Structure 1
Amino acid sequence: MILCIDAGNTRLKWGLHDRSRWLAKGVVAHEGIATLALPAPVQRVVACNVAGNAVAGQIEALARSLAAPLEWFVSSAACCGVTNGYGRPEQLGADRWAALIGARGLHAGPALVVMAGTATTVDALGADGRFLGGLILPGLELMRRTLARNTASLPEARGRYQELPTNTDDAIESGALHATLGAIERMAKAACRSTSAGFRVLLSGGAAEALAPHLDLPLRRIDDLVLEGLSRVAISSS
C-alpha cells in the first residue's frame, strides 16, 4: 500500500493506493496528522509538503510510526511524461508539479490545470506534456479577507456572484470570482493559440465548486489532483 500525502497551506489530504485504485481518502487539519487512522498497513509514504518545517516533522513522525519509508516529492526537470518548462525546475512548487503529473495521467491532450485553494494556480500543459508556464494568484477566500483586513469600510463579505452586483457583499464576492475566472480564461486563450483540439480545463481544489458554474470552457472536475500525481509517481518508480 502507498500512502500519498498532500500537505497544503491550510490542511492535509491523504489517500491510500494499492497501485490500481484508491482504497481510502481523507482530509485532516495539520495538527491531526499524528492521529491519522488508516484502514490498512502501509509499505511506502510519498509526500508533498508546502506547509513548512513543522508539518514536515509531523509527517516524518507519522512515517516512523507506520514503519514505512518516506519519500519527499520535489520538482524536477521531467517526470512521468511531463517536462518542466521553468528556467529553474526546482523553483516550481512541488504541489503544482504533482498536479501537472496527475493531469497528464488523466488527460492526454492540452490542458489548463487549475488548483483553486488558499492560492489559485493556473498552469498550461501542452499536448506533448510540456509545462508551458502558469500563474499564481490569491485564492477566493484570501481575496475576501485581504479586502476586509486592509480597507477601512469593506466587510469580510459573504455575498453571491452577480454579473452586475448592486450591493457591497455581492460586489466583493463577484470581484474575486471575476478576477479568478478572467485569469483562467486569458490563460486558456494563450494555451490554445497553437491548437485547441482536445483542450480541457482540469479544475481541482476547495474553491472548484464556486468557479465551475461560471467557466464557459471545456471543463473536467478532478478531486485531489495532487494525490493523483503522487500516486502516479509512486507507481512508476515501484
Structure 2
Amino acid sequence: MLLAVDVGNTNITLGIFDGETLLGTFRMMTKIARTSDEYGIFLRQLLLARGIEPECVEDVIISSVVPNMMHSFKNGIIKYLNTNPIIVGAGTKTGIKIATANPREVGADRIVDLVAAYETYGGPVIVIDFGTATTYDLVLEDGSFVAGITSPGIRICANALWSDTAALPEVEIKKPNSILAKDTISSMQAGLVYGYIGQTEYIIRKIKEETGRDDIKVVATGGLGKIIADATEEIQFYDPALTMNGLRIIYEKCKTSKKK
C-alpha cells in the first residue's frame, strides 16, 4: 500500500492507496508542533482506526509547503512506518515542464495538482485549488506549466472580515439562496461566496482572453471548492481527490524511472 501525504499550511491530508484505489483519507492539523514520535504514533493510530495494519504501508510520498516541520515528520515515518518517504521537490520526475520565471519558487502542492489534472483531463487545463490560498495554474497540452495566479483563500477573507470588524460575527461559509441579503449573517455569506464566484469567473475568463484559447478545461479542488464549482459554469470538473491522485501518479513515475 502507498501512503500519500499533502502537508498544507492549515491541514495535513493523508490518503491510503491499494494500487490505484483510494481506500480512505485522513486529516490532521499542521500548526500543532509535534515530535517525530508523536507524528509516528499518530499515523499508526490513524491507519489502525481505518482497519489498516501500518505494516501494510510499503511506501510513502509527501508534498509539503511547510518545510520547518518536515524533519520531525519524515523521521516519524522512518521510525514508525519503517520506510524512507519520497519528498516531491526539485528533480522529482513529474512529467510537467516548469516554464515559469523561477521554477524553484513553485510549490510542490501546485505541481502535484497539475500532474493529476494533466494526466486525468489533458491539457490545456486550468487547475484551481481552493485552499488556504486559492491558486489558478495553467498547463498546456505539451505539459508545460506556464502561468500561475495566487489570491487569498475564501477562509482567509472570511477571517479578516470578522476579525477586523468588531460588530460582525463569525459565520458559516455557505452560499445563501439570494444575493439580496436581508440580515447580517446572510449579507456576509453573500459577500464572501458571490464575491468569490465573481473573482473565479473573472480570472478564468481573463486567462482564456490573454492566451487566446477558448478550449481550456477548468478543474477545481480543495475543501471549499465545491461551493464555488457548483455555482459557476466556468468550472467543468470538481475533483476532491486531485492532490492524492497526483501524488500517486508521481510515485508511479518515480518507481518506473528507478527500474530503467
TM over 0.5: yes
CA contact (8 A) 1:3 1:14 kept: yes
Query: Could you say which residue in structure 1 is the equivalent of 2:197?
Result: 181
Tell me how far apart the structure 2 counterparts of residues 117 and 81 of structure 1 sit (CA, whole Å): 24
SS in 1 for 2:129: strand
SS of the aligned residue for 1:74 comes to: coil
Instruction: Write the distance in 1 (CA, Å) between the matches of 2:208 and 2:66.
Output: 33
Matched, 1:7 2:7: yes
Instruction: Give the match's secondary structure for 2:110.
Output: helix
Say if 2:97 and 2:145, in contact at 8 Å, map to a contact too: yes
Residue identity in the other structure for 2:214: S
Structure 1 residues 204, 160: closer, same or farther in 2, change over 3 A?
A: closer
Distance across 2 between alignment mates of 1:106 and 1:148? 39
Map 1:106-145 → 2, pairs under 5 A: 106-145=120-159
**Mapping of residues 57-136 of structure 1, within 5 Å:** 57-75=72-90, 79-136=93-150
Q: Which moved further from structure 2: 86-95 or 176-185?
A: 176-185
Q: What is the distance in 2 between the residues matched to 1:211 and 1:54? A: 31
- Residue 2 (structure 1) shift: 2.3
The number of residue pairs the alignment matches comes to 235
Q: Does 1:44 align with 2:62?
A: no
Measured after TM superposition, the shift of residue 75 of structure 1 is 4.9
In 1, the alpha carbon distance for the partners of 2:229 and 2:113 equals 18
> Which residue of the partner structure matches residue 229 of structure 1?
246
Change in Cα spacing, 1:59 to 1:176, as seen in structure 2 (3 Å) is farther
Indicate conservation of the 8 Å contact 2:223/2:240, yes or no.
no
Structure 1 residues 175 and 182 mapped into 2: Cα distance closer, same or farther (>3 Å)?
A: same
Distance 1:179 1:133 in 2: 23
- Residues 212 and 84 from structure 1, CA distance in 2 versus in 1: closer, same or farther, beyond 3 angstroms? same
Return the structure number with greater helix share: 2
1:156-212: CA deviations, max 9, x gaps? Answer: 233743333333322322222233223322232233232223x32211111022112
Compute the RMSD of aligned alpha carbons: 2.4
Q: Would the alpha carbon gap of residues 135 and 165 (structure 1) be closer, same or farther in structure 2, given more than 3 Å must change? A: farther
What is the CA–CA distance in structure 2 between the aligned matches of 1:151 and 1:236, rounded to whole Å?
Answer: 49
Partners of 2:62 and 2:111 in 1: CA distance: 13
Instruction: Work out whether 1:215 is the aligned partner of 2:214.
Output: no
Name the SS of the counterpart of 2:230 in structure 1.
helix
**What is the aligned partner in structure 1 of residue 258 from structure 2?**
none
Q: Distance in 2 between matches of 1:135 and 1:218?
A: 16
Q: Distance in 2 between matches of 1:66 and 1:216?
A: 44
Q: Which moved more, 1:38-47 or 1:91-100?
A: 38-47
* Higher alpha-carbon Rg: 2
| In structure 2, C-alpha distance between the alignment counterparts of 1:55 and 1:203, rounded to whole Å | 27
State the alpha-carbon separation in 2 of the partners of residues 75 and 192 from structure 1. 29
Q: Which residue does the alignment assign to 2:213? A: 195
- 1:156–1:52 distance in 2 versus 1, CA, 3 Å: farther
Shift of 1:107: 0.9
Partner of residue 170 from structure 1, selected from 148, 167, 186: 186
Counterparts of 1:174 and 1:91 in 2: how far apart (Å)? 34
Match of 1:16 in 2: 16
Q: Percent identity?
A: 24
Amino acid at match of 1:214: A
Quote the residue 1:29 is aligned against: 28
Q: Deviations over 1:33-69 (max 9, x none)?
A: 4322432522221101223423551343123211111
Moved over 6 A (4+): none
